[in-house]
Chains A and B, each alone.
Chain A
Amino acid sequence: MRILISKTNLKMKKFIMLAIAAITITVSGCKKYLDVTDPNAPTTTIYWKTSDDAQKGVNAIYSTFHRAGICRWYFFATMIRADEGWSTSPDANIQNNFDQFINNNYNYGNFTGIWNDLYVGVNRANQVLDNVPAINMDATLKNRLLGEAKFLRALFYYHLATLWGNVPLQLKSSTPTDLPPTSSQAQVYAQVEKDLTDAAAALPASYTGADIGRATKGAANALLAKAYMQQHNYQAALQPLQSIIQSNVYSLVANYQNNFLSTTEFNSESVFEYGNALNPNDNHDDDTQLAGEDNLNYGSSIPPFFAPRPIGFTDGQARRWPIAEFEKEKTTAGGRDPRLAATYLFDSTDVRGPNYTIIYGQTFASRYGTNDPDVWFRKFLNDNNGAATGDSFHSPNNYRFIRYADVLLMYAECLNETSATAQAYQYVDQVRQRAGLATLSSVAPGMNHDQFLAQIKHERITELTGEGHRWEDLARWGDLGPQLQTRDAGFKNFVKGKHELLPIPQQDLDINPHLKQNPGY
């Protein structure tokens, strides 16, 4: 370089010096130059340190309720597949997969959507359970948050167990290389029981203020009982149910329909609800879409899919046969069972018939005439104030997953199954009396086990139709089968030993050879 400089003029020297300086500066700045941090989001290494992180982590689990698989397609899998519902959707895939037991595409997106969203919830709960224990924070709050996470993980696995049965058990935060084996339905239920037992011990009986809607001890016990009952372990279910009843936290609300109004959420009968709200700007259900969180759905998708046409698309609607169940008995005042009008929109939602029945601001007759046999599920629509002329795409009306009435009927069923039929009457009576019906003790005393079970089946139809429990009831009672085609034609394709469970998504089977397809698929 020295020789070179001596040969050049002054300008050139300056230029060379500048160039050397430039090289030196840039080369020496190398290490720092390459350290780029993401200004958009905290990294996992700095998260899970504070009480606030723990609470947000738990909130994220609840947020899963508004994802499309759970806020929309879950109801097709439980209500439309069961004999209480059916589909007249012009979309053959919806009809075939959800109503007709024609499932030839194991990657059918609306099934995999439910599966994926349930596991999104599981992964969220696992992250809380893995990370929150190490956070230095108030011990009571920490205990409660861990209890909520366990409750919610159990809730997602409960749905996986009832819908798919034999599924992989993810109990730690997911990593991309996890290749778990299939766990049997019994193993999945065992995990649900374990988590719920822990959760019941950790959770408070109730909340106040901003925390209303979080999982409670009662919710954990009720779900625990459901898990036991699906396995016919009625004996084990007694204790948690009893503890709910004895807690004196819950009571039936006087007006049955208050269980289904957006204005009467979290009432005394509510054991666990999926908290919903309306976001007037919503245009998507992906609660991890960072650029669109202002437009995120916070509610359920029931109205557009289940509401009467043309308010909704009627991709899912109700079968007519249960109406006869409601009409079997009159109230003690001689009227019609008030639950019928709260359950269905049909030509006689108003007992006086289609000219008086109001369907979203118009009479049934003016919309559909007087001979239309269509029936629609009403409970989670928003027409029930009578003035609504339309509905929202996403509904702020909470999904009442577990009501105290359900708990009472479950308890009665367990007592009957454990040879305590006589003791069971009083719990059924509470439910019947709220509906204005005579007590069972007075109209059908002294039933044997089978008679009482048949009565329970009737009681559950009249009390709980259109709330997403029918599929589990039929499965528990062993009533799923092609014989149901007399009331729901789709069951003609039902193959016993196969269609009790959905097909495991083919994509997951293709990736993980440790997984097994369900029998018959």
Chain B
Amino acid sequence: MQCNPPRTETSLPLKLLLMTILLLFNLSVFAQNIQVSGRVTDASGQALPGATVRVKGSTISTVTNTAGHYAISVSPTAILQFSFVGLTMQEINVNGQHVIDVNMRDDSRALSEVVVIGYQTIKKKDLTGAVATVNTVDASKVTGNSVAEQLQGLSPGVTVRNGGAPGQQSTIEIRGVASFINSAPLYVIDGMIADANPTINTDDIETIQILKDASAAAIYGSRAANGVVIITTKKGKKGEPKLSFNVKYGSQHIPKKWDVMNSTQYATLKRQEFTNSGLPVPASIGSAFNPGINTDWQSLDERAGNDQDYNVSLSGGSDNTTYLISGSFYRDEGVLKAYSFNRESFRVNTETKKGRLTFGENMLFTNTNNYHPNRGNAFYDLPQLLPTVPVQGSQFIDNSTAFGTMGFRNPQGWSTGTIDNGGDVTYAYNSLAVNNLSQGYNNYAKLVGNAFAQLRIFNWLDYKFNVGLEASFDYNQDFRKDGIFSYAAQQELSYIDQDRERFRNLLMEHTLNFNKTFGVHSINGVVGFTQQSYYRDATDARKTNLPIYNGQYLSQINAATGTSSASGSVIQDDKLQSFLGRVNYSYNDKYLLTASGRIDEDSRFGPNYRNGFFPSVAGAWRISKESFFKAPWVDDLKINASYGVLGINTISSFQNVGLINNAPRAVFNGDAVYTGAYQAQLYNSNLHWEKRQETNIGIDASLFNNRLSLSASVYKNIAKDVLVNQVLPDYLGNSGGNPPVNAASISNKGIEVEATYRDNGHDFKWSVTGNIATIKNKVLALGNQGVGINYIQQGSTRSEIGHPLGQWFVLKELGIFQNQAEIDNYKRNDGTVIEPFAKPGDIKFYANPNGAGTLNNNDRVYNGSPWPTLQSGLQFNGSYKQFSVNLQLVGIFGLTIYDDIRRVLDGYQNSNFRTAINPWSPTNTSGTDPRLGIANGDAGIANNNTPESSRWLENGSYGRIRNLEFGYQLPKSLAHQLHIDNARIFISGQNLLTVTKYKGQDPDVTGNGILQRGVDAGNWPSSRIYSIGINCGF
């Protein structure tokens, strides 16, 4: 956490790096005449320290000191450029003056800002489509493994749900979900189409733009339908080399644990439960109960984790060349033992101009390591594990040597959820045993980058050739030691499994950009041709029986003495080629029109279905420019509308043909094994493009001297021929996964509003940005799902025409039967007693009065939605002199979560109990939970615990302090004494407070696929992180 001045204590590698840079870029230096000095102030007349004063067209520059003063030696005819982040740059002709004072005004930043919209950059004010610019300063304040994690709450209509595990990518959706298979947006990093997963260093990011509607995204055609996130990494700027150094250290904590019972509480209640059911009490909690054993499983596996983030970068440039070199190290030690992630990355971005040619490259090399157990899910298992069972014990040791002739080898004596035969058992995995016995490791060494050559043919016409490459060398290891970690599971031999994969993503693009103005007419655009190919293959080898010497495992295949097995395949081989074009026309800055389109051909579809054409149009009207518009407090007012069709292809390689599977094995003639082969997985041959029609209407306004900016949009997207992994009935005998089919139509509509108010006119400068969004999602059609059937069922969810995707379709809990008479009188219209098996204290479920028979699956009804009715975010930034504060809030409202962990805990079988339960009993008739009893042979309790029931649904609304940061900027005088240009220290707290009724560990769940998005089956809760950090520049 030190920030040493490089001039005095530069480390050797840094020196080498500096020398290399100096050699690479032979900086030209002017030496000229007069001394100019002055003072730079802001709009309120306050001194502006740290403003840059640069001689135009040169690399000579300086910065103002704490009093806002500067001095610079320049040619008498030079032009000086004064700049400061957030303020309008000013150019002043020196004209022989010796003193030049400058008053810098607020930037009408939102309007002059340039946005990247795919193959083009245009001024934000000229936008016709829905493009969100993310405040990357806010984003960077959040500690996250990946870009997506930092975006939560920052942009309306961008839904981020966090996974939380080290190295885990968050789930991000733009304007809802219209796909049944994949709702991830397309990422474009510096023009290279490549996933911004945790292998990407977030500190390298300069800007993030999110293309939300068809007009904005159509240029990416077939891959744009889930939205596009355009990431531009930091570039060098002309001027002296700048060295910056950022360090952040955070301590991670689990914000909430399951409040489960200790062993005495547990044994007491469990005895009661056996007694209630008229069953003998097992020795483990009865005669042999040992209160000395009181295992707090959660505490044993959980720890205070930490995040460490170190970044160093060097940037600068001359007239012709700019460069940025950065290196980073990030480490995430998770809150569970045995989980950690780290990433080393190195980036080089340069750009060089020579005459009409510009050559540039952006290159990232990253190496990530992810360590994690390979079995189970501790957040699912830990709360279930019994407090009466020790983690390990000599009584569990089983040193039998030969597999296949003896039971369960357990040399380390791990407990497996039961301590007496036929007694109290849990099937949950012993997480601490898993940590030790099943060690997973992934290493990805990856290069992502692009290089381009651009030729200015005319001043209005540029040709660009861009080649992008993402190459990844992946290594996945599964190291299994001898031993068992769960009750009633198959014994495994120790083994080592090493999987090596190669991934290559190659992009080639030729584009022509034009930009021409004729009087009041302005026209610009791009046309191009692109090709992209993806390829992944894998080779996997495994060998059993790892030898142990001196208690140490030898973990390499050559050391193993058992049987080896191998597999390998081409996992992905996809190719795409496309023609693209966009024209923007503007008349007098008042009327703006954009037309764009893309033709895509994708190898994943059969030859007859490959071509897709995806056009869009958009228009905008700047009302504030009209002569009739007279509202001096309105600085800018623009409305825009767009319509377009986007394509989507979510299928993987080789899914449009039937394939022969040769894995089956028959046994004949004693024990001889023979290969079998047949078509295991069914397929649909006529797979084609899924298309999405998108309509967007938006309004953007800047008011009160740009102090208030507002933008709002409404949209409606209709997805047609949606690719669905069709859930097949089991009578088809399909095996190997549900095949995709173009089967559905889904609409998403919503409103997004964002407003920012800023006040920079006083010492206390502040801004507040709030956003809200609604997403309404509806299934419109289900194609060939069947005759007379209008829904897709998956688990407890049903996606029915006219309803949102994945609604909960379950038995609905009405209450608790208080007495036998209530049970006997609860009848259908035909007189059938609905729950004849129930006893007082059992759950009364809704039953269709006109139905038949006892309670059954035909009594299921809709019961809530996993979709929030409202999503919101709020960011506050304030500064007073050297101090600054950043506050980010996230609010998600109106959704229902299926709490699968509570389903296990409150089922009272094979798990620990929550302390908060209140079981009904004849003496506790106000009990809100059903009666306590063993489900074996008890239909009433089996019914209480039926998984497809509203008992496990909970309100998932929450409000959260996502981040709170206090910063302190060192005064310039002090910084300069330390030979630092600028330095800032900060402390922050992430996920400090969550207000929710949800009973699980975290309502921010990523779910189980798209249709079961609200299922919490042990989602890794977002950690509370207390961080301290420093940013300094030299």
Contacts and interface: CB of A to CB of B under 8 A. Distances in A.
Interface stretch (A285-293, A416-424, A435-443): A285-293
Contacts of A27: 529
B667 A60 contact: no
Nearest to B571: A40
B672 interface: yes
B567 A213 contact: no
Contact of B659 (A41, A95, A287): A41
Interface stretch (B264-272, B938-946, B998-1006, B1019-1027): B938-946
Nearest to B683: A176
A26 B938 CA distance: 70
A69 to B, nearest CB: 10
A41 B662 contact: yes
Interface string B904-947: 00000110000000000000000000000011111101110011
Interface string B481-499: 0000001101111000000
B577 A34 contact: yes
Contacts of A211: 668-669
A254 to B, nearest CB: 21
Interface in A80-129: 88-93, 95-96, 100, 102, 104-107, 112, 115-116, 119-124, 127-128
B457 interface: yes
Nearest to B544: A281
Contacts of A313: 487-488
B667 A26 contact: no
Given A40-B654, A56-B677, A280-B404, A123 B667 contact: no
Nearest to B491: A393
Contacts of A89: 936
Nearest to B457: A4
Given A19-B465, A120-B735, A36 B667 contact: no
A396 B671 contact: yes
Contacts of B404: 278, 280, 392
A321 interface: no
A276 B356 CA distance: 75
Nearest to A33: B575
Given A179-B787, A281-B544, A310 B421 contact: yes
B635 to A, nearest CB: 42
Interface stretch (A192-200, A222-230, A242-250, A501-509): A501-509
A508 B406 CA distance: 40
Interface in A225-262: none
B407 interface: yes
Interface size class of B (residues with CB under 8 A): 35 or more
Contacts of B659: 38, 40-44
B407 A36 contact: no
Interface string B679-691: 1111110000000
Contact of B569 (A62, A170, A210, A290): A290
B682 A389 contact: no
A477 interface: no
B399 to A, nearest CB: 13
B936 A60 contact: no
Interface string B82-112: 0000000000000000000000000000000
Interface stretch (B164-172, B235-243, B721-729): B721-729
Contact of B531 (A26, A93, A396): A26
A288 B663 contact: yes
Contact of A275 (B455, B607, B668): B668
Interface size class of A (residues with CB under 8 A): 35 or more
Contacts of B664: 59-60, 63-64, 124, 287-288
B223 to A, nearest CB: 16
Contact of A62 (B465, B666, B734): B666
A276 B667 CA distance: 6
Nearest to B535: A36
Given A33-B531, A167-B731, A280-B403, A507 B793 contact: yes
Nearest to B510: A23
Contacts of A283: 490, 492
Interface stretch (A329-337, A347-355, A426-434, A512-520): A512-520
B252 interface: no
Interface string A279-309: 1110100111111111110100000100001
Given A36-B575, A211-B669, A281 B493 contact: yes
B662 A16 contact: no
Contact of A36 (B400, B492, B573, B787): B573
Given A44-B658, A210-B669, A170 B732 contact: yes
Contact of B668 (A178, A210, A393, A512): A210
Q: Is the interface of B mostly helix, strand, loop or mixed?
A: loop
A124 to B, nearest CB: 5
Contacts of A511: 727-729, 785-786, 789, 793
Q: Considering residues A63, A66, A489, which has the most beta carbons from chain B within 10 angstroms of its beta carbon?
A: A63
Contacts of B673: 277, 279, 298
A214 interface: yes
A134 interface: no
Interface string A1-39: 000100010001001100100110011001001111011
Contacts of B789: 511-513
Interface in A453-478: none
Given A22-B510, A287-B663, A119 B465 contact: no
B394 interface: no
Given A43-B660, A174-B734, A91 B677 contact: no
Given A122-B733, A123-B732, A57 B665 contact: no
B540 interface: yes
Contacts of B680: 288
Contacts of A116: 730, 733
A290 B603 CA distance: 23
B736 interface: yes
B942 A92 contact: yes
Contacts of A508: 729-731
A490 interface: yes
A93 B942 CA distance: 8
B661 interface: yes
Given A92-B935, A506-B857, 17 more contacts: A19-B510, A33-B575, A34-B575, A38-B659, A62-B666, A90-B422, A91-B427, A92-B909, A92-B942, A95-B937, A280-B403, A280-B562, A283-B490, A291-B540, A389-B405, A507-B729, A512-B786
5 contacts: A167-B731, A175-B682, A176-B734, A275-B668, A393-B490
The 5 lowest CB-CB distance pairs between A and B, nearest first, are A123-B733, A294-B565, A60-B676, A390-B406, A63-B664
